Amino acid sequence: MIQFKDLTKKFGSFTAVNSIDLHIRKGSLYGFLGPNGAGKSTTIKMLTGIYSLSGGDIVVDGISILKEPQKIKMITGYIPDQPYLYDRLTGKEFLFFCGGLFGLEKKNVKLRIDEMIETLKLGDWLNKRTEEYSQGMKQRVAIASAFLHHPQLIILDEPMVGLDPQSAVLVKQFLKRKSEEGITVFMSTHSLNVVEEICTDVGIINKGKIIFSGGLDELLSMKNELSHNFETLFIELTSENQN
């Protein structure tokens, strides 16, 4: 579904992402791990069009981001770590706004909103202004907005940050279900538990380079072989790479 081909991002003399090659298969729930400043968010921002590419290419479902970025955006939903919502609009108005950006008809958006109310437990909150929302509720509305247009790919940047346990469980269940339905989920996270709990594939990035990429089972067998817990394995992998 996604192919990073020799992807590079430089800021002046600093290389944030260094010639990474990755292939994320369709329908996988890919956990993108790495310590702070490793290049996770930079990779995601290139994938979503916020950052330009210094080198290489990203291909989503056979479409090159360099050639047809708008086509990729049509099949993608993006949920940033700090969701941007229009404060004065209600959640429902915001969802209608987002649906319209993808050219969806109002009646279709309404149907989708009704589905989302149920699955994401948005309830009456949708009729309140988004400025009244907690971080968890903002994240849920942002997730709902990203799924309105039936995307094939969902990109999430640190989705669990600032979530209360109830929202976190809900989001994890929702993402798992969507992945089972065939939607590809690409998610950067700090949380090793989240990866262990819901991801099917894992990639670890450190200092802009991919140091591990494969199925979760591969990582788990590695963990068992070394008799480590997940945290220790992660720290070892990233610190080995540093040294």
Footprint of other proteins (CB under 8 A)? 11-12, 14, 16, 48-52, 70-71, 73-74, 76, 78, 80, 82, 84, 86-89, 93, 96-98, 100-103, 129, 131, 232, 235-236, 239, 242-243
Min dist CB 128 to other proteins, Å, is: 10
CA distance 109 to 115: 10
Chain centre to alpha carbon of residue 90: 24
Nearest approach in angstroms of CB 142 to other proteins is 10
Q: Nearer Cβ to other proteins, position 20 or 216?
A: 20
Rounded least distance, CB 148 to other proteins, Å:
11
Please return the burial class of 61, using the count of CB atoms within 10 Å of its CB with bins 0-12, 13-18 and 19+.
middle
Instruction: Give the residue with the Cβ less far from other proteins, 142 or 198.
Output: 142
Could you tell me the two tokens for 56?
A: 């290489």
| Cβ at position 52, least distance to other proteins in Å | 4
| Nearer to other proteins among residue 13 and residue 165 (C-beta) | 13
Q: How far is CA 206 from CA 76, 145, 147, 195, in A?
A: 26, 31, 30, 17
Confirm if 48 and 15 have CB atoms less than 8 A apart: no
Query: Of the two residues 51 and 230, which places its CB atom closer to other proteins in the complex?
Result: 51
CA torsion sign for 231, 43, 172, 93 is positive
What six digits make up the tokens of 156?
Answer: 């999430």
Nearer to other proteins, 46 or 216 (CB): 46
Residue 204 Cβ, how far from other proteins at the closest point, in Å?
16
